Structure 1
Amino acid sequence: MRKYETIRTELNGGVLWATIDNPPLNLIDERFVGDLIALLDDTQADGDVRVVVFRSADPDFFIPHVDVRRIAEYTTVAATSGGPDDISLGALYRRLSEARPVTVAVLEGRARGAGAELLYACDMRFASLERAVIGQLEVGTGLVPGAGAIQQLVRLAGRGQAMQVILGSDDLDGREAERIGLVNKALPDEELIPYVGRLAARVAGFPEAAVRLAKRRINAAALPLKEDVQVDSSLFQILARDPSSGARIGALMQRGLQERSRTELDLGAALGEL
């Protein structure tokens, strides 16, 4: 398997540990999007990879959100990921949901916006009780989630909880995320990786055809229509060009957005102060 710029990989007994390492904050940019596309291509072709576990090299951030300075660039790279419909992160995350290997996300820091949407696209999610934070910041910045959160949160948590998470644009800790169904389980730090490792190895050891077909049928019952995610992506792109959202994002940038700052660490609170 090739080496990637922003993802470190280690294959162990059918489980590929994919560690996101895109300093300074693991923002989504064109390099990460290109690496995610390459990883999906490689694991689709490599029958030795049965489960992919995503985690972060940064103790504070899984993926905080997109790099707001690089939206055009990463969107251009996403458009190369596999056909005329693949024009957004939402389409790319759909590929992640439909990938041949089972995908598991381990949340040990902050995942907001499109970073949280990557979590929802994975087959299973597990969170640290001490350090996990999930949030959808878009409405607070004058946008709407464009990479699957609207569709996925309704299915994971129900209509009312989806309204609260998306319209409130606030942060949730691991315990609350587990309570409303955004993650499968929240565990203490010392138990988290051993638990996920055991589960991943267990799944990787089962007959491949049975796992693959079961995943396919679960997806058929649970994944949103591609067309609905495309609508959300289009609305995000429209609002991203609106001056009011630009002004709110600009105000956050002045307060330290995209830096290791109080604004990024406590973004839910910072949005409420705008």
Structure 2
Amino acid sequence: MDYDTLTVRAEDAVLFAGIRNRPMNLLGPELVRDLVALLQRTEADDTTKVLVFTSEDPDYFISHVDVTRIAEYRAEAAKLVGEPSIALLFRHLSASRLVTIAQIEGRVRGAGNEFALACDMQFAARESAIFGQFEPAFGLLPGGGATQHLVRLMGRNRALEVMLSAQDYDAELAERYGWINRAMPAGEIGDFVRALAHRIAGFPGSGHVAVKNRVNAIALAPVEDFRRDSDIFGDGVRDSEAQSRIRAAVERGFQTRDAEMDLARMLGDLPHH
């Protein structure tokens, strides 16, 4: 399997996919295209049971969507789910027979965080993982499922804090809020995730499917709710105020690697309304 934005290797029934979409792992059409192809191939391959996502960029897991190419990445998502929506692509990932694990090192914000939330488990490096759901800084609802996941995981009050503040959260606080499974030392996370993935892959796939189906019946929002959030984001991002604030952020370095190392501060400096 050869991809432009993923490095893939197999270990028995576990597949490791390293994200490498330079310069800062933006979720653009190339990465969405490769994720769609990876899911199609892996779901059709009965020998693979567990899919682990890592990043080859130490500073960014997935930064967020490329706001200059929204129509393009949505069109790539439609090739799997039949509708131009990464929310539905991410929900497909959650509903997949595959067990998915996000091994998070570096920044994961916006749709990057929504991708991680769509995975079945999330483990984060204490020293480097930074989480954020910043769309409300532009006057927008997160469109990839964050509202559905965060409210269920951490409760109404913390979900409101996370989204309305558009702040960065380190791995320790994310763990305390119930955002992720565990925060772990960077020196241990790789071995831990690998061992866990192989342990799970050693058990019958029928059990994975049965458990995921019943857990999802309780905890995963219906397709209609993901579609609704996606539509609200799509409408909102075309609004003049949202476009004005995005332009102001771009002028301050939005979607550049160095400026987004401290994205929360930059968003706080945008003009007030």
Q: TM-score, normalised by structure 2?
A: 0.97
**Structure 2 counterpart of 1:268:** 264
Which residue number in structure 1 is paired with residue 81 of structure 2?
82
Q: CA deviation at 1:247?
A: 1.1
RMSD: 0.9
Q: Give the match's secondary structure for 1:11.
A: strand
- The runs of 4+ residues in structure 1 deviating greater than 2 Å are none
1:5-28, CA deviations, whole angstroms, 9 ceiling, x for partnerless residues?
111101002110100111011101
Alignment of 1:122-141 (within 5 A): 122-141=119-138
**Secondary structure at 2:179 match in 1:** coil
Per the alignment, residue 144 of structure 2 pairs with 147
SS state of the match for residue 80, structure 2? coil
Partner of 1:13: 12
Q: SS where residue 4 of structure 1 aligns?
A: coil
Distance 1:240 1:233 in 2: 11
Match runs of 1:1-274 below 5 Å? 2-83=1-82, 86-261=83-258, 263-274=259-270
Identity of aligned residues (%): 47
Q: Distance in 2 between matches of 1:77 and 1:129?
A: 33
Amino acid at match of 2:34: D
Cα distance in 1 for residues equivalent to 2:84 and 2:238? 17
Cα distance, 1:122 vs structure 2: 0.2
User: Could you give the per-residue CA deviations for residues 182-228 of structure 1, whole angstroms, max 9, x where no partner exists?
Assistant: 11000010111111111111000011211221111111111001111
Match for 1:81: what amino acid? L
Q: Aligned letter for 1:28? A: L
Contact 1:26-1:64 at 8 Å conserved across structures: yes
Distance 1:130 1:195 in 2: 16
Structure 2 unaligned segments of length 5 or more: list them: none
Secondary structure at the aligned position of 1:79 is classed as helix
Give, in whole Å, the separation in 2 of the partners of 1:91 and 1:82.
7
Which amino acid in the other structure matches residue 268 of structure 1?
A
Contact 1:43 1:100 in 2 (8 A): no
Residues 24 and 257 of structure 2 are in contact (CA less than 8 Å); yes or no, is this contact kept in structure 1? Answer: yes
Q: TM-score, normalised by structure 1?
A: 0.96
Aligned-partner Cα distance in 1 for 2:43–2:124: 26
Deviation string, structure 1 residues 122-148 (Cα, Å, up to 9, x no partner): 000000000000101100012110010
Contact 1:16 1:52 in 2 (8 A): yes
SS in 1 for 2:127: coil
**CA distance, structure 2, for counterparts of residue 38 and residue 156 of structure 1:** 29
1:232 is aligned with what amino acid? D
Aligned letter for 2:75?
A: T
1:87 Cα deviation after fit = 2.4
Would the aligned equivalents of 1:258 and 1:264 in 2 still touch at CA under 8 Å? yes
CA distance in 1, matches of 2:113, 2:171: 13
In structure 1, C-alpha distance between the alignment counterparts of 2:55 and 2:212, rounded to whole Å:
25
Q: Helix, strand or coil: the match of 1:186?
A: strand
Q: What is the Cα deviation at residue 252 of structure 1?
A: 1.1
